[in-house]
Structure 1
Amino acid sequence: MLLLGLYHLVALLLLLVAAGRCLAATGGGDDGRQFVYNGFSGANLTLDGAAGVMPNGLLMLTDGRKVKGHAVQPFPLPFRTASNAAGSMRSFSTTFVFAIFGPYEDLSSDGIAFFVAASKEVLSAASPGQFLGLLNEDNIGNRSARIFAVELDTFKDAELRDLNDNHVGVDVDSLVSIDSADAGWYYDDGTGMFQNLSLISRKPMQVWVDYDSRATDITVTMAPLGVARPKRPLLQTNVNLSGVVPNMAYVGFSSATNFFSTRHFILGWSFALDRPAPALDISKLPQLPSAWSNSRSMPISIKIVLALASVTMVSLGIGIYIFVRRLRLKYSEVREDWEVPFGSNRFSYKDLFHATKGFSDKNLLGRGGFGSVYKGVLREPEMEVAVKRMSHNSRQGVKEFIAEVVSVGRLRHRNLTQLLGYCRRKDELLLVYDFMENVSLDKYLHGRNDQLLCWYQRYSIIKGVASSLLYLHEEWEQVIIHRDIKASNVLLDSKMNGRLGDFGLARIYDHETAAETTHVAGTMGYLAPELSRAGRPTPFSDVYAFGVFLLEVTCGRKPIFIDEQNNRVLLVEWVLEHHHNGSMLDTVDPRLRGEFNTEEVTIVLKLGLLCTYPSPNARPIMRKVMQYLDHDQLPPDLSPAYISYIMMAQMQNGGFDSHDMACSQPAMSVATLSGESSVTILREGR
């Protein structure tokens, strides 16, 4: 009996050892300090958003929809031992295999990131798109976020100072990487030659991330799957994570999409504290899906059955043909071969029709010279949108316009209204934007909105619009001239942040070239004087309109307003005259009741006059404007001689009479916008 008992005890001990080894190999064991996932079937992970595990064990973070996804170890890991809880953190190591499937071979949307985070709450509040599902516009750059990440970014975002649209970056509490490098690897053949890797190639790649707590160094290495770990890392940077990662922290992956629908996959993952991460067993990793689904040949028996069934259904099909055709005509759309590259951004007319309740007047948000805007609620994905409905008769014009708006749709900036996609039906063009629940700025400045914008809100909106123009003029891959900057085209989101929208008049060209001469387009009162002569838009004509916008927001008056004597007055000339008389602060919106920052108001009013200088080359570029608004430059010095010169130039231009004359030219086409006193002017360029 004693021997039998000893036998059972030994067997139990062996069983416990085996169970411990098994646990360590599948995601637990060693107090959670080490785990390995060669595929994710049965893995104990916390998944949210679009994340899910496919039947073959492949972890999919995003499924092609415009969303975010997270996969996180369900329990926090001890990044410090009890003996050094207040000191430096432990070293850690991780390796994983990933693949990104974009809709095209050379275009994708945002990327994927491995992260170490203090809490899961920061992830739940994170935004998709440029924020990669890690942060949002409120906590980006905030040290309280306490998050470290290695990003595999496939979209260049100038606002985040991205290196390019195919890079690896090291992030700490921000998506502005402290160090980054082109995605790729170095050969170990003695030459050390660098080989680029396309993150969106739909091919699996392996990444190794190591943190040395003593040297406070992060190294990131990558290579194609099946290639041994290169000796030379892709990047190595010094960063002390002791103040970032707490005693207990979560590890996992995050990814996000936005304009282009993209799928992000993780095939395998291992992690360890105080030691190298366990090697992955490549032979056990799940297979990636086919890049394109290829239908297999159908058995003859099934073909025969289908043929007989089709013959039987012919009579019924003829009977319902007319009914179906009539139904389809209601939602019929125009599709042509040149639209193929833009297909993933196209909405169905039927979805937009139902989202806006048949373009009901109850959903109408406003009308303008270029169409009507309706509020809509999409069913899938469930979200509120703004649908702009326009009519176009020129086939070539529609083609060029769609190509242009799709390019604009690639813009990423927190102060730009995001274009989500478009739809065509007969002669109609429908554009789908993010919905801004606080409508446009002009409703608060000139409408009957009971809510008064305080000076802090106005200054924040001004800086936001200025930042977006700097992005359009200088920071994006091409130059974009907006050509219609005004309060009604600045929309306010739920937090009253200003977002510049309506790119229907925008012109795009390369940085090394200039915009072609075109028809004069814009809104009366915002048009730079040189446009009526040359007809060629430039960034400086945008600066002029922005200067008028500055005065409009500060004074609470339209660019052309009616004074107490019932005279039409140009806002620019009115503020200029007050500045000349030393009473410039008297122009501030009286509804503020004197509650404003005098220094900021002075900067904005002077800057408005400087931006509306008659000579375009004397106006500041938007980078200089931002320096003034950020207080990095002393306020503009508008000397009396300078003001006198401007007033003389205004007099030579004829002041308000010049605008009247411009509108009375026979070659002009003038149309008053519904609900607005502004006028859209179109003149064919010569």
Structure 2
Amino acid sequence: MVAVKMLKDLGQGEKQFRAEVQTIGMLQHINLVRLFGFCAEGSKRLLVYEYMENGSLSSHLFSKSSVKLIWELRYSIALGTARGLAYLHEECKDCIIHCDIKPDNVLLDADLCPKVADFGMAKLLCRDFSRALTTMRGAIGYLALEWISGLPITHKSDVYIYGMMLLEIISGRRNVEKIKEGKFTYFPIFAAVKVNEGDVMCLTGYRLEGDADVEQLSRACRIACWCIQDAEDHRPMMGHVVRMLEGVMDVEVPPIPRSLLNFVVSELQFVTPSVRKNLSSKWTKK
């Protein structure tokens, strides 16, 4: 059994085709989907991948009808995805930035082992040239500030997006959700404040019903909030993320990213009086 991806638009499709063949075509890792072959005949652009029996992580996290992902599975998926990204960033000949990490692009095999897929936006960087300019695609709420600002990106942009995805794995909900007509809720705000307060059990989704390892949950929440820091230098390397998830590196309580402070101060119902005072003074100083 194989999965065949057909690219229709020869304009953008050709670019995606080349990006996928150049990146994933030469790589093998347990947490990267394998490319078996391709076809480039006339106007046909086909990619032949290994078949992933359990589909995308997205279909399990956000669908009420799917099999429930217990906490142990969620943590294992987060760790496996981090290992795949660490391999791309730190162990390949060229640094590979995926640029589009999200639950839709993490596939699960028969054993629910996660594999990073869809390298159509990937960028290759020589080790002596660590930044790349690329067009902004995807939801702004998931992209790092430097990308939104039109600045060259690095592997730390992947780290930011991974942090956003990790929050979705923890909560089992989209980071941005519509709550009523014309109004949306932004989960990373709530998560950053609760991590700062030390109250993380409320961040698990209703499908977990609080059934999660408290130490692992606290660790994962802290890691996610370190990954979404505004400054690239404050975000960890993916290799460090792996070691933190494995429990061989300590994880301190991260500061609330300043890009979120404006939202937090306007959403003070999330915040206890002591944290509210601290946040307000920080924002005033800024």
* Bigger Rg, structure 1 or 2: 1
Higher helix share: 2
Instruction: Write out aligned runs for 1:69-88 (5 A).
Output: none
Q: Tell whether 2:9 aligns with 1:392.
A: yes
Cα-to-partner distance string for 1:144-190 (whole Å, 9 max, x where unaligned): xxxxxxxxxxxxxxxxxxxxxxxxxxxxxxxxxxxxxxxxxxxxxxx
Give the equivalent residue in structure 2 for 1:374: none
- What CA distance in whole angstroms lies between the structure 2 residues aligned with 1:561 and 1:452? 20
- Distance in 2 (alpha carbons) for counterparts of 1:431 and 1:630: 34
Cα deviations across residues 477-512 of structure 1 (Å, max 9, x unaligned)? Answer: 111000000001110000011111000100012111
Report the equivalent of 1:447.
Answer: 63
Contact 2:19–2:123, Cα closer than 8 Å, also in 1 = no
Contact 1:490 1:501 survives alignment (8 Å): yes
Counterparts of 2:82 and 2:109, CA distance in 1: 17
Aligned counterpart for 1:497 among listed residues 106, 113, 121:
113
1:251-287 Cα deviation digits (max 9, x unpaired): xxxxxxxxxxxxxxxxxxxxxxxxxxxxxxxxxxxxx
Distance across 1 between alignment mates of 2:4 and 2:118: 12
1:86-165 aligned at under 5 Å gives the runs none
Find the aligned partners of 2:143 and 2:197 in 1 and give their Cα distance: 26
**Cα distance, 1:429 vs. partner?**
1.6
The aligned residue for residue 620 of structure 1 is 236
Please say if 1:636 is aligned against 2:252: yes
Distance 1:616 1:502 in 2: 24
- Distance, in Å, in 1 between the alignment partners of 2:31 and 2:87 is 10
Contact 1:544–1:612, Cα closer than 8 Å, also in 2: yes
- List aligned pairs for 1:179-198, cutoff 5 A: none
Whether 2:186 is the aligned partner of 1:570: answer: yes
Secondary structure of residue in 2 paired with 1:458: helix
* CA pair 418-513 structure 1, distance change in 2 beyond 3 A: same
- How far apart in 1 are the matches of 2:38 and 2:117? 15
Percent identity, aligned pairs only, is 33
Aligned to 2:284: none
Instruction: Give runs of aligned pairs for residues 451-470 of structure 1, distance below 5 A.
Output: 451-470=67-86
Tell me by how many angstroms 1:534 deviates.
2.9
1:473 to 89, 103, 112: 89
Q: Which residue pairs with 2:275 in the alignment?
A: none
Structure 1 unpaired stretches of 5+: 1-383, 658-686
Q: Would you say the 8 A contact 1:472–1:479 is kept in 2?
A: yes
Distance in 2 between the 1:428 and 1:537 partners?
A: 32
- In structure 1, C-alpha distance between the alignment counterparts of 2:180 and 2:212, rounded to whole Å: 25
Query: Contact conserved, 1:614 with 1:650, CA < 8 A, in 2?
Result: no
TM-score w.r.t. length of structure 1? 0.37
| CA distance in structure 1 between the partners assigned to 2:167 and 2:184 by the alignment | 16
- For the 8 Å contact 1:483–1:522, the answer to whether it is kept is no
2:30–2:115 CA contact under 8 A, matched in 1:
yes
Matched-pair contact (CA < 8 Å) for 2:103–2:165: yes
**Residue 528 in structure 1 maps to residue 144 in structure 2:** yes
TM-superposition CA deviations, 1:328-371 (whole Å, max 9, x none): xxxxxxxxxxxxxxxxxxxxxxxxxxxxxxxxxxxxxxxxxxxx
Structure 2 counterpart SS, 1:544? helix
User: Take 1:559 and 1:438, find their aligned partners in 2: how far apart are those partners?
Assistant: 23
2:166 and 2:93 map into 1 onto residues whose CA distance is: 27
Give the whole-Å Cα distance in 1 for the aligned partners of 2:81 and 2:124: 19
Q: 1:586 to 1:563 in 2, by over 3 A?
A: farther
User: What is the root-mean-square deviation of aligned Cα atoms in Å?
Assistant: 2.4
Q: TM-score, normalised by structure 2?
A: 0.85
Match of 2:225 among 570, 591, 609: 609
Residues 490 and 499, structure 1, Cα contact 8 Å, conserved in 2: yes
**Alignment correspondent of 1:583:** 199
**C-alpha distance in 1 between matches for 2:245 and 2:197:** 24
* Change in CA separation of 1:431 and 1:524 when aligned onto 2, cut-off 3 Å: farther
1:553 aligned to 2:158?
Answer: no
Shift of 1:561: 1.4
Match of 1:289 in 2: none
Q: Report if the CA contact (8 A) 2:38-2:47 is conserved.
A: yes
Q: Superposition pairs for residues 254-653 of structure 1, below 5 Å? A: 384-394=1-11, 398=14, 401-402=17-18, 405-563=21-179, 567-638=183-254, 642-643=255-256, 646=257, 648-651=258-261
Distance in 2 (CA, whole Å) between partners of 1:400 and 1:582 is 43
Equivalent residue pairs, number? 265
Deviation of 1:573 after TM superposition, in Å, equals 1.0
Which structure shows the higher strand fraction? 1
- 8 Å CA contact 2:62, 2:172 repeated in 1: yes
Q: CA separation in 1, counterparts of 2:65 and 2:215?
A: 28
Contact residue 572 and residue 612 of structure 1 kept, 8 A:
no
Amino acid at match of 2:226: L
Kindly state the Cα deviation for residue 636 of structure 1 after the two structures are TM-superposed: 2.4
Shift of 1:559: 1.9
CA displacement 1:511-563 (0-9 Å, x = unmatched): 11124312123344321121011342211100000001111000111121134
Question: Shift of the alpha carbon at 1:428?
Answer: 3.6
Kept in 1, the 8 Å contact 2:16–2:119? The answer is no
Secondary structure class of the residue paired with 1:623: helix
Residue 581 (structure 1) shift = 4.5
Q: Which letter does structure 1 place at the counterpart of 2:87?
A: Y
Larger RCO of the pair (alpha carbons < 8 Å, separation 6+):
2
Equivalents in 1 of 2:181, 2:61: separation in Å? 22
Distance 1:564 1:400 in 2: 37
Give the counterpart letter for 2:246 in structure 1. D
SS of 2:142's equivalent in the other structure is: coil
Tell me by how many angstroms 1:584 deviates: 2.5
